[in-house]
Structure formats: C-alpha cells, structure tokens
Chain A
Amino acid sequence: MFVQLKNVSFHYKNTKELTIQNFSLAIEKGEIVSILGKSGSGKSTILRLIAGLEIPFSGSIHINESIMADDKQFIQPEKRGVGMVFQDYALFPHMTVAENIKFGLKKMSRIQKKERLDEVLALVGLKEYVKRYPYELSGGQQQRVALARAIAPNPSVLLFDEPFSNLDAELQIKIRDELRTILKQTGITSIFVTHDKMDARALADRVVVMEEGTIFRVGEPAEVLNNEFTMSPVPV
C-alpha cells in the first residue's frame, strides 16, 4: 500500500465533535482516488491530514512505507513530498508563472530547474505564459499553473482540493480529461476531493463516499455512483 490511513481521528480546535472518526483507507501506487461528499463531511480535512497541515488526534498515516504521523511522530508538511493543488490555487501573486513553478524545486542546478520548468509547462501546455503574473491569467490557466507547480518537485502523492470548483462547466470537462491523461502519463498517486459525482466518475479509479467524518461507501466509480446516488444524491 502506498498511502495508508489507519483509524485516523481528528477534531478542529474549539470544537468538541470529531471532524474525522476512525478513518481508514489504503491507496495503491499510481491509483487515482476520488473522495466524494457534501460540504462538512470532512473530505477536505482528509487531504489536510495527509499533507501534514493538520495533526491527527489519533491513528496513523503512512506514505510509501514511512510513518508520517502517529502518536509519537509528526513529519512536517515540507518533508513529506506531497503535492497539493488548492481550491483557489494559491498561486503566489508576487511571482511569475515560472517563479511559481520553480518555487518548489530545490537541490537542482539552474539548468536543471529550467529543464524541469519546460517539462511541466509542456505537460500543461502553457509554454508561452512563463513571464506572466497570476492575475494576468484566466481561471483555467491559473488552474494549470497550480497543477504544474504541484507536479514540478515530483511529489509521491498529489492532492487536489475541489480543483474545478472555480471553472465554468465547459472548461471543467476539458481540463478534467486533460488532467486524467497527465496523471496517468506521470503515474503519480492522486487523491481528489470533490462534491461533483461527474468529476469522480470521469477521473477516479476508485471512489470513496464520505459522510460525517467516516467512510460511507468505497468502490469502483460505476458501482458506487450508480447504486448509491440514486437513493441519496449528493447535491451539485
């Protein structure tokens, strides 16, 4: 198992009830998993726990056989080798596209950095925008820069938090398809959080449906989405 969460529980400060309760999930290398759920179901929190942005209350998290968090240890996010694409992209407004993408590249020579930049830019098809600032880009372009930035340092796991929520429907479909191609091309293990079952269906190898901090259902997209959502639809 490449990513493994065992009995993870978590609650935010100032709240008593657990946001995540006894959550366990194992993900294989190269797998694309979609976490589907209503807002408040705790799906984004799972991503933050894997990334190391939140500290679990109990349970353990492993990535690639090493402990990321348990009762004794906690690895800081910068040491985890996890990439993340944020809901609103969080592109650094004071940096150009190139600077944003090169931001996570460490221990590389200048030439290597340049090569890597060109590589990921080619992957997302934004070569001519290197010198632009984020605010000079459209929403779809920003989204792709965010993806390129997250991919650039070669993370072992890539996390997406509602990646399409700021895009219009047409763009959403286009980018979704592109994204699956890119992810399968690079073979990165990926986890998506979404509230849109179409996203989940189009992207994922496996779908996890969350409700109130626990797993409600897991399985292949076709099976999970066809059965369950006719009965209790997730609002879009």
Chain B
Amino acid sequence: MKLFRLMKLKMNSWAILSFLITIIIMMPILFITFEFFTRSSENWEHINEYLLNSYLFNTLLILFFTGLLTVFIGVSMAWFISAYDFPLRGFFKWGLILPLAIPPYIGAYTYNGILNYTGVIQSILRNFYQIEVNQKYFNIMSIPGAIFIFSVFLFPYVYLITKNFLENQSASLVENARLLGSNSFEIFFRIVIPISRASIVAGVSLVILEVLNDYGVVKYFGIQTLSTAIFQTWFGMADLGSAIKLSGILMMIVVVILMAEKWLRGRKKYSYSNSKVRPLKPVKLTGYKAWAIFAYISAVFLLSFFIPFIQLVKWTFTTYKQVLSDEFIGLIWNSTFVAFTAAAVIVVIALIIANFSRLFEGRVTNLVSKIVVLGYSIPGAVIAIGVLTLFIALDRQLLIFYQLIGLTPSLVLSLSLSMLIFAFVIRFMAIGYNSIETGFDKIGTTFTEASRTLGMTVTQTFFKVDLKMIKGAVAGGFILVFIEILKELPLTLILQPFNFYTLATKAFQYAGDERIQEAASASILIILISGVSIYIFHKVLEKEPG
C-alpha cells in the first residue's frame, strides 16, 4: 500500500519528463558503451606499453598546473574586483570574462604566431635592432606553453563563479574580518579562499573538463596527452576499440573529478532565504595600492585577451581582401542560429531536470542529474560517432515513413541540423546545468515551499517563483553555452549537413592548413559575437538584486 502511495507521489510529470529526456540523452552514450565492450582492441597492449603512462602523466601534469594557475588568477581577480575600487574597475569587471571568447586553439596559434621567428616580436628585434634571440625562450610549443594557454583563456570560469559569490554573499564575513583588524592578505587567505571554496571548485572543474577534452592545442604543440592518444589510436591505427577504451579512462578521470567536486564543495548548502542579501561594498583604493592592483589586472587582461586580439585584428587587415566575402553573412547566421537553438534547448532541459532533482531528492534523481552532464566528459569526436549511429538507426526505422510521404533520400534526420544540435545538447548540457543548479542552490527550497503552502502546484510555483528568482543563472547558463558552441569544432566537423559551414569551421579550414593569418577574419568574428554576448550577460547579472 505504501509502495503504491510512493509511486503515485513520485510519478509526476516532472519525473516523467526528466526520465524521458535522460533516456534520450543516454542513448548515444549507451551506443558508445556498447562498443566499449564489444569492439576488439587489438592495439591495447601496444598502447599500454608505449603510450599510456607518459600520456597519463602529461595529462595530469597539465591539469594540475592549469588548475592551480586558474585558481590563483581567477580567485585573485574575483577578490580584487569585488572588494576594491580602482581605475577601470567597471570595465575589468566584465572585461575579464572576455578571454572565454577566444577558442584556446586559436589562442595557441596566435601566441605562436606572435612569438615565433616570423612573429612580430622577433621580426622587430631582428629588423630594427639586429638582435637574434635564443629560440628556447620564445618557444611556446611545450607543456609549460600549453599550461599558459589554457590558464589565460580558461581562468574566467573560476573568476566568474567566484566573483558572483563574493559580491553577493561574503559581505558580513569580510566586513567582520575587517573590523577585527585583519589585513588584506589575512582576509584573502583565511576568509576569502575558504568561504568561496564551493565556487572555486565549481569553476576549476569546468576548466579541467575543458582541458581534458582539448585536442587542438596539444595537437599543434605536439604534446602527447590522453586526447591525442585517443585520436592516434583511432585514426593512426584504425582501432576504434582502443580509442573508446581510452575515452573510458578519460571518463573515469572525469567521474573522479566530479565526485571530488561534490566532496570538496562539502555538504554545506549555500542558500539564502533571507530577503536581505547585502552586496559587498568595494573599498576605494588610492595611491600605490590602487596602481599595483590596476597593473596586475591589466597585465592579466593584456595577456589573456588584448594582445592576441590585436594580433588577430592585424592579421585580419592583411588578409581580409582574399578571405572576406559575402559568404561570411551566411557563416555568422549559421553559427549564431545553431548556437542559439542548442543553448535554448539546453536551458529548458536543464531547468526541468535541475528542478526535478532538487525537489525530489533521492538516489534515482541524483543519478539522473549525473547522467545528463556525462557528455561533457566524452571527447567531442566520440560523442559525434555515438550520435551519428543513433540518428542513422533512427533514419532506418523511419524509412517506411519517409517513403510514405514521398521523400526520396534515405537519410533525413542524420542530414539535418537536428543531429548537430542534438549532439551539442549532449556535449554542453553540463555547462548549462551547472549554472542553473547553482542558481537553484542559491535560492534553496523555502520559497518553493512557501508558494506551495499558498496553494500553488509545483509547476505553477516553477513559473511564478523559481524561474523568476533564478533568471540570472538561466541567462548566464544560456550565454556560456552559446559561446562554447560558437567556438566548438570537432562535433561540427563530423556532423555538419551538406554545405553547412560555421565561423569555427571556416577558421579551422585555414588554421588546419597552417594559415593562421587567413583564419583571423573568422576568428575575430567569433570573438566579437562572443564578446557582445558576454557584455549582455554582464548587464543581466548587474541588474540582479542578489
């Protein structure tokens, strides 16, 4: 009897929708898992003997130092911006998110273009001062170089999440510490870092996942990591089985990281249900302190955005005549259309599942929320194969139906954009979901409970209360996903329909052929569109009262 009551209680439409979506999202992942067990992996021993250890070591090395650096840069930026007032603070507040607009592999090409023998620095030294430099000090194509690239272009994840937390939720603690006579250093290390642990961990885990999945930077730099190993076994040895096994290892690392994240975040709930959220008031700085902070932040901004941006602008000017055409209008439209649609779908799904898992806590719901973010841990190309297999199978099922309505081609779904968009949804769900889950965490469940005792159903409450209270997080998630998809490459390359090009594939067309200067026009457009989105994102968050 009790079981029956339980079933009735649990099987509401939120649950049904959530399970349905989870199953759909899981299908391509299941296809891959299936191949994990069935495919033979004839080169496994070879991989184990020659590749695995050093590849794993390189991967972990890059992860560790990138994590460390992004935390250092991200948290210090977040702290300075939210606690102090100094010249140009208003601009840096959102300007420091801009590096996210530059795809790391474009950043890698650009930095190499700046630093190498024909780059602007060496050319000037050589042509005007007759200085020949030791190439060792200008070579960025190394593991430290890759760590630099990842750190400068990915730290905004940590910065963004930590800054939001500090601005809105640290006021009383920080002011208390100030009153107790702690100096800035003490406050930073003894108060700021411990209390923002949850946000730091959330941010740095996004960074780590991005790094794990990167292929462009490490490939160009000739660094052997797990993701290069995957492609090398798949493409070099035609051994998809081993490649999938390697992806499995990658996924395991990710699962460990996600578990560590939960554990590191602690069981503390960081929700406020008090209507009084007092923002932290920045202290106005003068004199050398103001200028020291200004110099530090400017340096980070220059390295992570301004310098590569200017270099790309310069290249655009030298090559736009042969590259730029009215085709670019189509490219801009394609890029924004796909990114917009996929981001919208992701936000809707993330809202449904996050709301479900927060209101009906339990083991099953917990599992659901884990599964939907799994896609972020799988290399794009592997997801693409899973999605492709699924859609082709679907098309085969629908063949009779196509013939019935008089369609001639045998592949309809798998040649449409819906396949690409579906793949994006799986791949980037985690980013949207994370943002929305954090939003829900922040408001807690009290408002929902209040609304229900006032006679509103879960669904009515969702639209009237929950959604309105987390709209900042929704907008934030949407824009982060939008930018990610603008930059995305591997999925698009495999799943694109005929004659469908985006800014990213256009940039790749040149960059892949080592023509970074010609790739600049498309890259600049990606950066501009992302930059505008970031600005809008910033404005939306500014308006949020908490």
Chains A and B directly touch (beta carbon < 8 Å)? yes
Residues of chain A whose beta carbon lies under 8 Å from any beta carbon of chain B? 13, 51-53, 55, 71-74, 76-84, 86, 88-94, 103-104, 106, 134-135, 142, 149-150, 153, 159
Question: B144 at the A/B interface (Cβ < 8 Å)?
Answer: no
For B342, what are the chain A residues with a Cβ–Cβ distance below 8 Å? none
- Within B182-237, the residues touching A (CB, 8 Å) are none
- Chain A residue nearest to B278 (CB atoms) is A135
> CA A72 – CA B453 in complex, angstroms?
22
Contact assessment for B469 and A92 in the assembled complex, using a CB-CB cutoff below 8 Å: yes
Contact with A along B3-35 (1 / 0, CB 8 A): 011001100000000000000000000000000
- Chain A residue nearest to B6 (CB atoms) is A55
Residues A103 and B275 in contact in the complex (CB < 8 Å), given A76-B457, A77-B453, A88-B446:
no
- Within B68-100, the residues touching A (CB, 8 Å) are none
Question: B464 at the A/B interface (Cβ < 8 Å)?
Answer: yes
Question: B164 at the A/B interface (Cβ < 8 Å)?
Answer: no
Question: Would you give the shortest CB distance from B541 to chain A, in whole angstroms?
Answer: 15
For B8, what are the chain A residues with a Cβ–Cβ distance below 8 Å? 74
Contact assessment for B275 and A91 in the assembled complex, using a CB-CB cutoff below 8 Å: yes
Question: B454 at the A/B interface (Cβ < 8 Å)?
Answer: yes
- Chain A residue nearest to B4 (CB atoms) is A72
- Chain A residue nearest to B450 (CB atoms) is A90
Question: B409 at the A/B interface (Cβ < 8 Å)?
Answer: no
- Chain A residue nearest to B276 (CB atoms) is A135
> CA A53 – CA B274 in complex, angstroms?
19
Contact assessment for A94 and B453 in the assembled complex, using a CB-CB cutoff below 8 Å: no
Contact assessment for B452 and A92 in the assembled complex, using a CB-CB cutoff below 8 Å: no
List, sorted by A's number, 25 A–B pairs whose CB atoms are closer than 8 Å: A53-B452, A72-B1, A73-B5, A74-B5, A74-B8, A77-B449, A77-B452, A77-B453, A78-B452, A78-B453, A86-B273, A86-B450, A88-B274, A89-B275, A90-B447, A90-B449, A92-B450, A92-B451, A92-B469, A93-B546, A103-B451, A103-B456, A103-B464, A134-B275, A159-B453
- Chain A residue nearest to B469 (CB atoms) is A94
For A134, what are the chain B residues with a Cβ–Cβ distance below 8 Å? 275
For A104, what are the chain B residues with a Cβ–Cβ distance below 8 Å? 454-456
Question: B468 at the A/B interface (Cβ < 8 Å)?
Answer: yes
For B450, what are the chain A residues with a Cβ–Cβ distance below 8 Å? 84, 86, 90, 92
Majority SS of interface residues in chain B? helix
> CA A73 – CA B276 in complex, angstroms?
38
For B451, what are the chain A residues with a Cβ–Cβ distance below 8 Å? 92, 103
For A91, what are the chain B residues with a Cβ–Cβ distance below 8 Å? 275
Majority SS of interface residues in chain A? loop
For B4, what are the chain A residues with a Cβ–Cβ distance below 8 Å? 72
Checking A72, A103, A149 against B5 with a beta-carbon cut-off of 8 angstroms, the contacting residue is A72
For A73, what are the chain B residues with a Cβ–Cβ distance below 8 Å? 5
Question: B284 at the A/B interface (Cβ < 8 Å)?
Answer: no
Contact assessment for B455 and A153 in the assembled complex, using a CB-CB cutoff below 8 Å: yes
For A79, what are the chain B residues with a Cβ–Cβ distance below 8 Å? 455
A-B interface, 9 closest residue pairs, ranked by CB to CB distance from nearest: A104-B454, A134-B275, A90-B450, A77-B452, A84-B453, A90-B446, A88-B273, A88-B274, A78-B455
- Range of interface residues on chain B? 20 to 34
Question: Would you give the shortest CB distance from B135 to chain A, in whole angstroms?
Answer: 59
Residues of chain B whose beta carbon lies under 8 Å from any beta carbon of chain A? 1-2, 4-5, 8-9, 273-277, 361-362, 446-447, 449-457, 460, 464-465, 468-469, 545-546
Contact assessment for A78 and B456 in the assembled complex, using a CB-CB cutoff below 8 Å: yes
Contact assessment for B453 and A82 in the assembled complex, using a CB-CB cutoff below 8 Å: yes
> CA A13 – CA B465 in complex, angstroms?
26
Contact assessment for B455 and A90 in the assembled complex, using a CB-CB cutoff below 8 Å: no
Residues A90 and B273 in contact in the complex (CB < 8 Å), given A76-B457, A153-B454:
yes
Question: Would you give the shortest CB distance from A26 to chain B, in whole angstroms?
Answer: 22
For B453, what are the chain A residues with a Cβ–Cβ distance below 8 Å? 51-53, 77-78, 80, 82-84, 150, 159
Contact assessment for B9 and A142 in the assembled complex, using a CB-CB cutoff below 8 Å: no
Residues A92 and B5 in contact in the complex (CB < 8 Å), given A13-B362, A78-B457:
no
> CA A78 – CA B8 in complex, angstroms?
16
Question: Would you give the shortest CB distance from A202 to chain B, in whole angstroms?
Answer: 25
For B460, what are the chain A residues with a Cβ–Cβ distance below 8 Å? 78
Contact assessment for B454 and A71 in the assembled complex, using a CB-CB cutoff below 8 Å: no
Contact assessment for A93 and B545 in the assembled complex, using a CB-CB cutoff below 8 Å: yes
Residues A103 and B454 in contact in the complex (CB < 8 Å), given A13-B361, A86-B449, A92-B447:
yes
For B452, what are the chain A residues with a Cβ–Cβ distance below 8 Å? 52-53, 76-78
Checking B1, B5, B275, B456 against A93 with a beta-carbon cut-off of 8 angstroms, the contacting residue is B275
For B545, what are the chain A residues with a Cβ–Cβ distance below 8 Å? 93, 135
For B273, what are the chain A residues with a Cβ–Cβ distance below 8 Å? 86, 88, 90
> CA A86 – CA B546 in complex, angstroms?
20
B361, B452, B465: residue with the most chain A Cβ atoms closer than 10 Å: B452
> CA A77 – CA B178 in complex, angstroms?
45
For A89, what are the chain B residues with a Cβ–Cβ distance below 8 Å? 274-275
Question: Would you give the shortest CB distance from A69 to chain B, in whole angstroms?
Answer: 9
For B449, what are the chain A residues with a Cβ–Cβ distance below 8 Å? 51, 53, 77, 84, 86, 90
Question: Would you give the shortest CB distance from B540 to chain A, in whole angstroms?
Answer: 14
For A90, what are the chain B residues with a Cβ–Cβ distance below 8 Å? 273, 446-447, 449-450
- Chain A residue nearest to B444 (CB atoms) is A90
- Chain A residue nearest to B443 (CB atoms) is A93
Checking B1, B275, B464 against A71 with a beta-carbon cut-off of 8 angstroms, the contacting residue is B1
- Chain A residue nearest to B361 (CB atoms) is A13
> CA A230 – CA B464 in complex, angstroms?
49
For B276, what are the chain A residues with a Cβ–Cβ distance below 8 Å? 135
For B469, what are the chain A residues with a Cβ–Cβ distance below 8 Å? 92-94
A53, A55, A92: residue with the most chain B Cβ atoms closer than 10 Å: A92
- Chain A residue nearest to B446 (CB atoms) is A90
Contact assessment for B9 and A106 in the assembled complex, using a CB-CB cutoff below 8 Å: no
- Chain B residue nearest to A53 (CB atoms) is B449
- Chain A residue nearest to B8 (CB atoms) is A74
